[in-house]
Amino acid sequence: MSEAATMFKPYSRPQMAKLAADDIPEGWYVNLGIGIPTAIADHVPLDREVIFHSENGVLGMGPAPEKDKIEPWLINAGKQYVTLRAGGSICHHADSFSMIRGGHLDLCVLGAFQVADNGDIANWATSENDTAPAVGGAMDLAAGAKRLWVLMDHTTKDGTPKLVNKCSYPLTAQRCVKRVYTNLAVIDVADIGFVVRQMSPGLSFEDLQARTEAKLHLPG
Amino acid sequence: MSEAATMFKPYSRPQMAKLAADDIPEGWYVNLGIGIPTAIADHVPLDREVIFHSENGVLGMGPAPEKDKIEPWLINAGKQYVTLRAGGSICHHADSFSMIRGGHLDLCVLGAFQVADNGDIANWATSENDTAPAVGGAMDLAAGAKRLWVLMDHTTKDGTPKLVNKCSYPLTAQRCVKRVYTNLAVIDVADIGFVVRQMSPGLSFEDLQARTEAKLHLPG
Amino acid sequence: MINKIVRSMADAMAGIKDGSTVLLAGFGSVGQPNQLIEGLIEQGARELTVAANNAGSGHVGLARLMELGRVRKIICSFPRSSDPVVFETLYRSGQIELEIVPQGTIAERMRAAGAGIPQFFTATGVGTKMAVGKEHREIDGRTYILENALKGDVGLVEAWEADRWGNLTYKLAGRNFNPVVAMASELSIVQTQHVRELGELDPDHIVTPGIFVDRVLHVPYGDPGSF
Amino acid sequence: MINKIVRSMADAMAGIKDGSTVLLAGFGSVGQPNQLIEGLIEQGARELTVAANNAGSGHVGLARLMELGRVRKIICSFPRSSDPVVFETLYRSGQIELEIVPQGTIAERMRAAGAGIPQFFTATGVGTKMAVGKEHREIDGRTYILENALKGDVGLVEAWEADRWGNLTYKLAGRNFNPVVAMASELSIVQTQHVRELGELDPDHIVTPGIFVDRVLHVPYGDPGSF
């Protein structure tokens, strides 16, 4: 890493979530993956109506409940207590996954271990020999939603790039990621590969490329 | 036809319906085809609880409504007004046919043009070149119900047998009829073929055979 | 604010293209979106493929649409009706194509389209004319045939209640094909007897969630007529 | 008189055989038939194949059933949980077989079993380890894999309300896998919070009709616990 690397300010988790949230237009049906993506909902104002879906048959989730107003029969796929907005509805698991697999969700945002510049995503197992990997609904969401965005750190803690030429971890789905929000940049996955839309303050394109295995492109 | 043929008394339509009705035990889920089979329900007393299903998503039908108590939103597959018993429920068409195709109906009773002694049924078209044959739900019911009974006249009006060696009309489904109630007899479809359980008063086995193309067997 | 409720029939029908596949819900005249069918007649799209349980009756609704020469092909389970004169005339003179599909297979093909299942196996129709030319497969000792999803470019739906997010309920046998038509269609257009405030419909009682619905038109026509 | 309501857990569990495939509904502890799982532990059937979304937590319920050596194979989408110690111990020592299935594919496989569809194509899992050894097919330019129906010999279900015909409703996220488990299982056993008189449940609001239900046990345990 170059000297300059110390000069930039990575996006915080809330900033990453806000960046993604600001890109979601009113009226979209959106599934937010377990973990960091869930925080995106906090950055969408209630008067911009975005309809959040959870795999376990909950459509139209609202903000997290206050502690003394928990409805014990209302949880999301991350098994957190949630609320239902006016207009929310309940369905069974097969109907819920019909929404996902039938291409009815405008957007899904997942976390990931790796994203390749052809849009491949690996987010469910860190080894071909993982003893008991847990896939949950990730493969359904990645393959089924109209568009898939990823929210993740740009590299692992030890600096290994997560935006790669080819995923080394087991795939979740092929050629489906459309955009990646990292702590360093917002990057589209286009036909030519990764196209940088925005970088964290103070970061140069060269610095970003140094932290990225796959080739980066500038727009236009 | 022999002389004796004039001596017997065929079952009337209500008698045929009653014979079938008496064979339906409490607790069965039953679909009655459009036409004569519909009348079977009238012969099942309400305190022997049999749950009648209609293809258009109605489960638990009761007796026909009185004229001044018609619910215009409640019809059966024959597009007649029906009632719903306490315990009745509504579902959509795909769920309704899941009940049929998933093998959840204990019984379906259909009318037919022909039944062969291997259990084949032809009940939807009277010619290979029928201009616009109407199959409706018959193929789903015949293939899907746990057991299929047929209620029909023993011969056509001109005396042509309808219990045949091989259906000449286009098939509705293969090898699925388990029993046939005609105006002359009640006949099981067993591994060896047609087995006569009961004949209309005064009819001899030979007379019945004379009106039947396929070979008839006596039980045991 | 999301508002799927449109103010006019013209808005409801906007953009339906020639050559579209249109899925029509309804069984008999119960839960049948009659006013939307009239709207489609008015709208003018041609060369339509229409999937519905029946092939129209008399000279109104679907029959009228066919009579005007706007339907290239009909996919249905039961082309006969109390008065199928229009369909039969067109069919005999070779002016309309017919695909007969068992009723459960139509419903399941629509549901499959909505659920992202392009093809599935079924026992319905095996050994019959319906199986001719279709892939056969023996699975656990029984023979099945392969059927394709039936996707609509446009779906016409009748609901009992709707809200501005497009959540729907149905009344009794008015449910029938409506939920599968809504989920199978790219553009789902609903006529509803009642419009409810958002939040008025119980989340546990909503049958078609708004995710399957694009436009809602308030048509409080009352009870369906006789048959 | 039809009466699917049984009076004891022993009656609810009667006849479950060794080697059965048991479908377990529930997602987290919401809508999970915990008392029926305890009943199954008590009942004693062995060599079970269990399909559920998770592989149990702590040392109770499904985890306890596994710990007692009664489960030969588990089919699930997410074997991890807050405390998956029992499953992980058994799995690492080769004492339990695991089939990982994407969550939507499990749900759809159960629904297919209930709907008479032995096999269907799906895009979920294409290009992943889930697709290894499965039939692939390109349909309209996209690749799909073939999945099989997942039928239960026994299904364990939790309902909010039930009547003596076995009609069920669910409460909010307690619905989850329950309706598909009920329709996919040869013997569907339900624990219900509330028993209603026949006719008390609105025909338009019944989610699982009694045709998919065999036995109902009244277990009014209250709200699900924390996770």
Task: Provide the domain count of chain B.
Answer: 1
* CB contact D117 to C (< 8 Å): yes
* CB contact D131 to A (< 8 Å): no
The phi, psi pair for C224, rounded to 5°, reads: -65, 155
Q: What letter would DSSP give residue A99?
A: H
Find the distance separating the first CA and the last CA of chain D, reported in whole Å.
41
**Residues in chain D within 8 Å Cβ distance of A101:** 104, 108, 122-124
Among D116, D121, D123, beta carbon nearest to C123: D116
**pLDDT exceeds 50 at position A100:** yes
**DSSP string computed for D101-146:** --HHHHHHHHHHHHHT--EEEESTTTTSGGGTTS-EEEETTEEEEE
**Touch criterion met for D and C (3+ Cβ pairs within 8 Å):** yes
Which of A71, A83, A92 has the most D C-beta neighbours within 10 Å, making it the best mutation to test the interface with D?
A92
Q: Is A85 helix (H, G, I), strand (E, B) or coil?
A: strand
Among the listed residues D62, D149, D73, D154, the one whose alpha carbon sits nearest the alpha carbon of residue D114? D149
Over residues A142-180, the pLDDT tens digits come to 999 999 999 999 999 999 999 999 999 999 999 999 999
CB spacing of B135 vs C100 below 8 angstroms: yes
| D226 alpha-carbon distance from chain centroid | 20
Specify the pLDDT at position A1. 45
- CA dist C160 and C167 (Å) reads 11
Specify the pLDDT at position A220. 81
- CA dist B5 and C152 (Å) reads 57
CB spacing of B55 vs C98 below 8 angstroms: no
**pLDDT exceeds 60 at position A2:** no
Specify the pLDDT at position D83. 80
Q: Provide the chain D residues 138-167 that lie in CB contact (below 8 A) with chain B.
A: 163-165, 167
Tell me the nearest-neighbour CA distance from D222 into chain B, angstroms.
25
Mean model confidence pLDDT for chain B: 94
Mean pLDDT of C85-97: 93
**Residues in chain A within 8 Å Cβ distance of C117:** 101
Confidence tier at D225 by pLDDT (50, 70, 90): confident
C175 to chain B: closest CA residue:
B92
Mean pLDDT of C108-128: 98
Specify the pLDDT at position B6. 61
**pLDDT exceeds 70 at position B1:** no
Over residues B153-192, the pLDDT tens digits come to 999 999 999 999 999 999 999 999 999 999 999 999 999 9
**Residues in chain B within 8 Å Cβ distance of C107:** 92-94, 96-97
Q: What percentage of chain A has pLDDT greater than the value 90?
A: 90
A90 to chain D: closest CA residue:
D172
Out of A15-19, A55-59, A99-103, B32-36, least confident range: B32-36
**pLDDT exceeds 80 at position A131:** no
**Touch criterion met for A and D (3+ Cβ pairs within 8 Å):** yes
- Helical segments of chain C, H only: 9-13, 34-43, 62-67, 85-92, 103-115, 178-184
CB D212 within 8 A of CB D67: no
* CB contact B136 to C (< 8 Å): yes
> Which residues make Cβ contacts (< 8 Å) with residue D202, sequence separation at least 6?
none
Over residues B31-62, the pLDDT tens digits come to 999 888 999 999 999 999 999 999 999 999 99
**pLDDT exceeds 90 at position D219:** yes
- CA dist D11 and A48 (Å) reads 53
- CA dist A121 and A126 (Å) reads 12
Scanning the structure block, which residue is given the tokens 């109906």? B105
**Residues in chain B within 8 Å Cβ distance of C193:** none
Q: Does a structural domain hold residue C227? A: no
CB B183 within 8 A of CB B153: yes
Mean pLDDT of C10-39: 97
* CB contact B202 to D (< 8 Å): no
Out of A77-86, A173-182, C4-13, D83-92, least confident range: D83-92
**pLDDT exceeds 80 at position B11:** yes
**Touch criterion met for A and C (3+ Cβ pairs within 8 Å):** yes
CB spacing of D121 vs C122 below 8 angstroms: no
**pLDDT exceeds 60 at position A4:** no
Tell me the nearest-neighbour CA distance from B75 into chain C, angstroms.
6
Q: Is B55 a catalytic residue?
A: yes
CB spacing of D211 vs B47 below 8 angstroms: no
Among the listed residues C95, C18, C85, the one whose alpha carbon sits nearest the alpha carbon of residue C55? C85
**pLDDT exceeds 80 at position A3:** no
- CA dist C149 and A110 (Å) reads 29
* CB contact B57 to D (< 8 Å): no
Among B71, B140, B143, beta carbon nearest to C103: B140
Task: Provide the domain count of chain C.
Answer: 1
CB A194 within 8 A of CB A188: yes
b/e sequence B164-191, b meaning 16+ C-beta within 10 Å: beebebbbbbbebbebbbbbbbbbbbee
CB D126 within 8 A of CB D145: yes
CB spacing of D1 vs B49 below 8 angstroms: yes
Over residues C148-178, the pLDDT tens digits come to 999 999 999 999 999 999 999 999 999 999 9
b/e sequence D201-213, b meaning 16+ C-beta within 10 Å: bebbbbbbbbbbb
**Touch criterion met for B and A (3+ Cβ pairs within 8 Å):** no
Mean model confidence pLDDT for chain D: 96
Q: What percentage of chain C has pLDDT greater than the value 70?
A: 99
CB spacing of D120 vs C123 below 8 angstroms: no
Specify the pLDDT at position B36. 86
Out of A197-206, A210-219, B90-99, B130-139, least confident range: B130-139
- Measured on CA atoms in the order C112, C115, C117, C123, is the torsion positive or negative? negative
Confidence tier at A127 by pLDDT (50, 70, 90): confident
CB spacing of B89 vs D198 below 8 angstroms: no
Please name the chains neighbouring D, where neighbouring means 3+ C-beta pairs under 8 angstroms. A, B, C
**Residues in chain C within 8 Å Cβ distance of A144:** 116
CATH number at residue C203: 3.40.1080.10
CB spacing of C207 vs B92 below 8 angstroms: yes
**pLDDT exceeds 90 at position D71:** yes
Specify the pLDDT at position A95. 98
* CB contact A84 to D (< 8 Å): yes
Mean pLDDT of B96-123: 98
Specify the pLDDT at position B211. 97
Among the listed residues B56, B64, B145, B63, the one whose alpha carbon sits nearest the alpha carbon of residue B107? B145
CB spacing of C198 vs A27 below 8 angstroms: no
Element (H, E) at B98: helix B93-101
Confidence tier at D82 by pLDDT (50, 70, 90): confident
Among B84, B86, B103, beta carbon nearest to D116: B103
Specify the pLDDT at position B132. 72
**Residues in chain B within 8 Å Cβ distance of D204:** 90
Mean pLDDT of B89-113: 98
- CA dist A99 and A116 (Å) reads 26
CB B120 within 8 A of CB B167: yes
Structure tokens at A136: 């949950």
Confidence tier at D226 by pLDDT (50, 70, 90): low
* CB contact C78 to D (< 8 Å): no
Other CB atoms closer than 10 Å to residue B162's CB: what's the count? 22
The beta-strand segments (E) located in chain C are 21-24, 48-51, 71-76, 97-100, 119-122, 136-139, 142-148, 152-162, 168-169, 185-195, 215-218
The amino acid at D69: G
Please name the chains neighbouring C, where neighbouring means 3+ C-beta pairs under 8 angstroms. A, B, D
**Identified catalytic residue from B3, B26, B49, B55:** B55
**Residues in chain B within 8 Å Cβ distance of C98:** 132
Other CB atoms closer than 10 Å to residue A42's CB: what's the count? 13
- CA dist B31 and B46 (Å) reads 16
CATH number at residue B116: 3.40.1080.10
B99 to chain D: closest CA residue:
D115
Structure tokens at B62: 């009761």
Among B58, B75, B136, beta carbon nearest to C103: B136
Q: What percentage of chain D has pLDDT greater than the value 90?
A: 91
Tell me the nearest-neighbour CA distance from D150 into chain B, angstroms.
12
CB spacing of C165 vs A51 below 8 angstroms: yes
Please name the chains neighbouring B, where neighbouring means 3+ C-beta pairs under 8 angstroms. C, D
> Which residues make Cβ contacts (< 8 Å) with residue B59, sequence separation at least 6?
B29, B51, B52, B53, B88, B89, B90, B91, B96, B99, D209, D211
> Which residues make Cβ contacts (< 8 Å) with residue C190, sequence separation at least 6?
C33, C157, C158, C159, C162, C166, C168, C182, C213, C215, C216, C217
- CA dist B174 and A191 (Å) reads 52
Specify the pLDDT at position B2. 47
Among C121, C169, C207, beta carbon nearest to D119: C121
**Residues in chain C within 8 Å Cβ distance of B120:** 127
Mean pLDDT of A124-137: 81
Among the listed residues C13, C25, C22, the one whose alpha carbon sits nearest the alpha carbon of residue C160? C25
Which of C5, C151, C165, C213 has the most A C-beta neighbours within 10 Å, making it the best mutation to test the interface with A?
C165
Structure tokens at D143: 């690749």
Over residues D86-139, the pLDDT tens digits come to 999 999 999 999 999 999 999 999 999 999 999 999 999 999 999 999 999 999
Tell me the nearest-neighbour CA distance from A144 into chain D, angstroms.
7
Mean pLDDT of C93-112: 97
Mean pLDDT of C111-128: 98
CB spacing of B171 vs C180 below 8 angstroms: no
CB D122 within 8 A of CB A101: yes
**Identified catalytic residue from A26, A49, A55, A206:** A55
> Which residues does residue A109 pair with via DSSP β-bridges, in sequence order?
A32, A149
SS (H, E, C) A170-204: CCCECCCEEEEECCCEEEEEECCEEEEEEECCCCC
Mean pLDDT of D47-64: 94
| Segments forming the whole domain that contains residue A119 | 3-217
SS (H, E, C) A107-165: EEEECCCEEECCCCEECCCCCCCCCCCCCCCHHHHHHHCCCEEEECCCECCCCCECEEC
CB spacing of C174 vs B73 below 8 angstroms: yes
